[in-house]
Structure 1
Amino acid sequence: MGAELDRPAGPLLAVAACLSLHSAGRRARPTSRSPARLRRLLEPPPCETPCPGAAPPSSFPPPPCGDLGGAVVGRGRVSGARRRSGRLWEGWSSVRVFGRGPGGAEVRVFDLDDGRGMRARVTDLGAALVGLDVPDASGRTADVVLGFDSAEEYAGEANPHMGATVGRVANRVSGAAFELDGAEHRLTANEPPNHLHGGGAGRLGLLVWRAVAADAGSVVLECESPAGSEGYPGRLRVRAAYRLGGGALEVSYRAESDAATPVNLTNHAYFDLAGAGEEGGVLGHRLRVEADRYTPVGEGMLPTGRVEPVEGPLDLRAGRRIGDGVAELAADPVVAGYDHNFVLRGGGGVRTAAVLSDPASGRVMELETDQPCLQVYSGNRVPRGLAGKGGRVYGPRGSVCLEPQGYPDAPNRPEFPGAVLRPGEVYERTIRYRFRAG
């Protein structure tokens, strides 16, 4: 499972345990199947009185429900009272208002700090990573993920899923439909005629999630995707936990459903280890991918169903300058750069999937995951002149996405390992970004 992350010292603060989401559905409590440390993080004591507006009892138990005791959620710290009286331990987590999301819902950003020079910013809109400050060998920090300055921009049509939790099903579902247990399900064709990254307004990356717990170096968010959302069956509960420490940012996903449904979650962060994101800026980075095979695609960027050996610009096993590979792939009428799914070596646990390095800054990022595949995308279709955070201007190939995932279009590809989550099962996946400076 890789090295244990150091947890920043400091008391735990559960925030917004009773906040409503898009609907007033019941919320999941962590179950005994959670790892012990995560369970401790997620389980504040139950309320003495029910949450206002709580739904009737169901097979999905209500959430832990902490009284914030007058806690302030705004531009500054959030503090609560003691647990002993059904309230929360005093603690802190820097929380800022980030703007308004779909439907006018208030959106916030949680600032995480490992106390050693790394800082991360996570928003409850789409459980997205919106900032990640990483020092170089001289101790100078740079924000290595692309993004925007406000929730309104993240909710806008120009946002190419930056930093978002993607799902219910990452990548494409051919024909925006699939058959499961004898029933056909029609999905939103948001990339006609196909379905991409969970669809439209109901995709996980556009929901305002509920903050369950946070402390100086971590935040846990939950959301519920109702049955029928974007065409998917089953009511899906999802938890995203971000933990910063030990030179790494870990993102873990957990999901449960009350009916069979496909699930394939990932994070869609765009990385530039130099911290700029300018057009062509990532071409000087080097990338190594621990994969001997990949899944070729045809028209519409849909997998053909074959799994073939990597060769030429797709052979990244020894490391390669991204710009050299992009130059060889630029004439490809389908991908025009890197936008390929690699089948990772090994399986069954968290292991190294890729290593990205920037010779100019000396920053190195090692990606670890327990997912079977990795989508490498060199930002070929990022709009030229896209206005980003801090006045920066983004463009094509100014960043690279490394998206751990299941096999693409698995709901329609019986030759690929399946992606169906059934009642009583738990979907759990881990992504870890580990940094060092050379």
Structure 2
Amino acid sequence: MPDRADAADAVDRAWRTHWSPVLGLLIGQFGRPDLAEDALADAFVAAARRWPADGVPSSPGAWLLTAARRRVLDRLRAEAVHRRKEPLMVVDERTRALAAETTDPGAHVGDDRLRLVFACCHPALAPEARIALTLRFVAGLPTAEIARLLLVQEPTMAARLTRAKKRLAASGIPFATPPPERLDDRLDVVATVLYLVFTAAYHPTDEPDPLRTALGDEAIRLVRVLDGLLPGRPVVRALLALLLLQHSRRDARLDDTGALVLLPDQDRRRWHADEIAEGLAVLRSVRPSTGQAEEYRLQALVAAEHTTAPAADATRWTVVADLYGRLEDLTGSPVVRLARAVAVAEAEGPEAGLALLDGLDAALPTHHRVPSVRAELLARAGRPAEAAVSFRAALALVHNPVERRHLEGRLAATELTGGAAGPPGAARCPRGRPDGQP
């Protein structure tokens, strides 16, 4: 009798390993992302039911693909019969033809996962819908996590995903990789998606591995493939530099218990010097620009300031604050304002940082990072009672268990010590973008 725990682990591994590539194959074959996702979810349910009894197949990905393909064909057949427009025999012939189809109009994009990213980023969909669909289909992220990444409520994101799927199903939009001459039309959205996939890797989870560094590896791999496919694009080069510099610190971000280690407390000997060197070299190849390319370049310059400082107290905070000011001018983003407040507090003192937080509660009403940053700055300004109130406000908004434990520890320390100042940078930048990683 197969071990049920081993089978359950195999299903979990298969989800992480095979969800995206199998979904990409299904969408590429049938052009129906709504059916493909539902069928693959059904296949995983079947795997959870059958593998403990029958044993884990030698090729879990192939098993899932076969099971999901059968479910898509059953749905297509049922739809056609329901319309009563064709005889059953004709329907069966057409579904069999779909199953055997091997044409590959997206062969000019050699990577299956990147091909799916380009397909999801169809310009007929609203940009936010393209991003949400890609994060769902390519990274396999749940709706709640996509909502947190995009700073919206979960019901809003669920509705957005549903509308996008219905539009694709009803409009006849070709869900396929664009031809080579049209790849640049989707480049900015593709870059945004890869940026967010990387960000998702550093949202701590309550899983055995709180940080999904493999997802960060995959995001960087896809950016490298994209850079080879469309060489010399500033937005891609700047993004590659940013991700390399951020990813270089992955081994120092958590302690042995899985608790967050803030940037000033990280063991810099554990940072990957080769990746820092490569990131800096790529960054030097990117000239000042406009739009999204410049946004990534400025973020990469911030990351470079941190990764080249020999120690936390050697960080050039005035330079970091200036870079965030330029980034805020470019984007108008309240999340960037939050990061700038942290840098200004380091350069000029906590009261200067607190002044920049004015208005951010209304701009980011569900973002726990606003009250948590305020709490840290209040504690450093010698206002422990106000700091404790802000820590409690942050705890009321935080959903992630790893970050919740961190905030609970900071609240307890504030109440115990009466607001002893934290280390430089302890307020932390917001987690809504890669420049806000711990």
Richer in strand (by share): 1
Relative contact order, higher structure (CA 8 A, sep 6+): 1
User: Shorter-chain TM-score category?
Assistant: under 0.3
The normalised TM-score by structure 1 is 0.27
The normalised TM-score by structure 2 is 0.27
Richer in helix (by share): 2
